[in-house]
Amino acid sequence: MTPEALLDTLAERRSLPLEGYRSLIEAAEALAPRAAELARKAREPIYGNRVFIRGLIEISSFCKNDCLYCGLRRSNAGAERYRLTEEEIMECADEGYRLGFRTFVLQGGEDAYFTDERLVPLVRGLKTSHPDCAVTLSLGERSRESFTKLREAGADRYLLRHETADGAHYGKLHPESMSFENRMRCLRDLRELRYQVGCGFMVGSPFQTSETLAKDLKFIEEFRPEMCGIGPFVPHHATPFASCPAGSADLTCYLLSLIRIMHPNILLPATTALGTVAGNGRERGVLAGANVLMPNLSPLSVRKKYELYDNKLCTGEEAAECRACLDRRIRNIGYEIVTDRGDFKSANAVVQ
């Protein structure tokens, strides 16, 4: 089958064999415009031109892990560490609410300070003061008991990128203390506990090949996440991958299109990393099929300290400025940011 025909098959059957995904990835350059067109066509009846926003609150830059790509890795002695107080987190959420955000994403490194005993009241507090909002957690790997308690406290969604669906590749990106099996165990637990689950990966991470990417696509096809966060790898100067090249915006956009075609209902962010590698990266992401933006609500005083990678966008902007900037950018390309929790729309839902 030609790559063009494979793309049509993906649009019809929403599934391809591993080899098919690999051929599509290898034909990225030629197929990207057609893939973007099919992606927009798949999204239109479900989400129209609506783009959802999530307010990202980076609650801690402490991390006990040592992922080789990440600036927050514990071996990075140069990283400035901080953690927000419960009060600061609530203030960020209140400000976000005033700006029209109806989802708060609490993200942080794997910080032992944030025990269940501390997180449960925090999640409860957020859900009590903003009952019309969704709370998303993105706090790394935790035990099933912990996921259970946080879900019972009211957390609606959990983001945990799988990072790569190839076990050997996973091993090259992470220290020995971390395991691919535990990552997958977490994703399964989250699913069973009825979270809306987000997985995802970096595009252009060191040692990535068309084969590992094909496995990522097959995994996303089968796991059927409600969300999928993909963004280019961006080197951080104080990591072992400092001199590796950044991932490409073009390939990221193409993969966004393929994921949209495979799962028309999925929530797909145009990430800050995509905006970092290309000036209009987020707009290009939306035109390729993304329908979520996750601007920062963290206090300005800590913005620069949550440094996953170099040259991160929006570290000097107030939340209100980002909101206004995104509104303008998205309107300019014919889309519209909406104030809505932006829940996953199940198979047959259409825009009212």
Compare residues 178 and 314 and give the one whose CB is closer to ligand FES.
Answer: 314
Dist. CA 172–CA 174, nearest whole Å:
6
- Does 57 participate in binding ligand FES (rule CB under 6 A)? no
Dist. CA 252–CA 111, nearest whole Å:
30
Using CB under 6 A, which residues numbered 291 to 330 contact ligand 5AD?
308-309
* Burial class, 350, CB count within 10 angstroms (exposed 0-12 / middle 13-18 / buried 19+): exposed
- Does 229 participate in binding ligand FES (rule CB under 6 A)? no
The region of 143-151, 217-225, 230-238, 291-299 touching ligand 5AD under the rule CB under 6 A is: 230-238
> Looking only at Cα atoms, what is the longest distance across the chain?
58
Compare residues 69 and 219 and give the one whose CB is closer to ligand 5AD.
Answer: 69
Dist. CA 190–CA 199, nearest whole Å:
11
Among 108, 231, 281, 342, binds ligand 5AD (CB under 6 A): 231
Dist. CA 68–CA 207, nearest whole Å:
12
Among 7, 25, 63, 70, binds ligand 5AD (CB under 6 A): 70
- Does 199 participate in binding ligand 5AD (rule CB under 6 A)? no
Using CB under 6 A, which residues numbered 313 to 332 contact ligand FES?
314, 317, 321-322, 325-326
Task: From 308, 22, 47, 37, select the one nearest 163 (Cα to Cα).
Answer: 308
Q: Kindly state the tokens that stand for 248.
A: 């490409």
Using CB under 6 A, which residues numbered 257 to 296 contact ligand FES?
295
The region of 37-45, 76-84, 227-235, 343-351 touching ligand 5AD under the rule CB under 6 A is: 227-235
Task: From 185, 182, 162, select the one nearest 173 (Cα to Cα).
Answer: 162
Site track for ligand 5AD across 87-126, x = CB under 6 A: ----------------------------------------
- Does 29 participate in binding ligand FES (rule CB under 6 A)? no
**113 Cβ partners below 8 Å, 6+ apart?**
60, 62, 83
Site track for ligand FES across 292-311, x = CB under 6 A: ---x----------------
Dist. CA 121–CA 85, nearest whole Å:
12
- Bridge partners (DSSP) listed for residue 227: 198, 267
- Does 20 participate in binding ligand 5AD (rule CB under 6 A)? no
**176 Cβ partners below 8 Å, 6+ apart?**
none
CB of 309 to ligand FES, least distance (A): 16
Q: CA angle, 37 as apex, 36 and 39 as ends, to 5°?
A: 60
Site track for ligand 5AD across 137-166, x = CB under 6 A: ------------------------x-x---
Cite the DSSP H helix spans in the chain.
3-13, 18-26, 28-47, 86-98, 116-129, 144-152, 167-173, 180-192, 210-223, 249-262, 272-277, 281-288, 300-303, 319-332
Compare residues 20 and 232 and give the one whose CB is closer to ligand FES.
Answer: 232
Compare residues 179 and 280 and give the one whose CB is closer to ligand FES.
Answer: 280
The region of 29-37, 97-105, 120-128, 233-241 touching ligand 5AD under the rule CB under 6 A is: 233-241
In the complex, which residues of this chain contact ligand FES (CB under 6 A)? 295, 314, 317, 321-322, 325-326
In the complex, which residues of this chain contact ligand 5AD (CB under 6 A)? 69-70, 161, 163, 202, 231, 233-234, 236, 273, 308-309
